[in-house]
Structure 1
Amino acid sequence: MLTIFSHYFSYLFNDKYSQGKEIFINIPGCDPEIFRIVLAYMHTNTLVVPSQCDYSLFKAIAWLG
């Protein structure tokens, strides 16, 4: 799902040098809760924005897309 939705992940996971390797990535400014929301958005195509959301959610979506 990540590689279909995101050019970033498509490049990261389909790169010939990353095949069969464990990959750790750091997404600047994206805490686990934000990433969970982004994953849910990728899966459902519906963005649920928490009432206490800041700009980092939209920044993460733009960065990963």
Structure 2
Amino acid sequence: MVHIQDIFKSMDIEGKINYSELNHKQKRALRNIIECKTEVMGFNTDICECCGHTEIHYNSCK
């Protein structure tokens, strides 16, 4: 399944987004969608007390 985030990321990488045509709110929304649930937004770590297994959960853009 393709998500809107994937589409925006590929468009950004390919240089198909003209940021000069967007207003401040549009730029911020687009950047938030692209960076949502990535290391850029920060993360929380859960560590199992029994086995020490670690899971990283990236923060969302809300």
TM-score, normalised by the number of residues in structure 1:
0.28
Greater fraction of residues in strand: 2
**Which is higher, the Rg of structure 1 or of structure 2?**
2
Greater fraction of residues in helix: 1
TM-score, normalised by the number of residues in structure 2:
0.29
Q: Which has the higher contact order (CA 8 A, sep 6+)?
A: 1
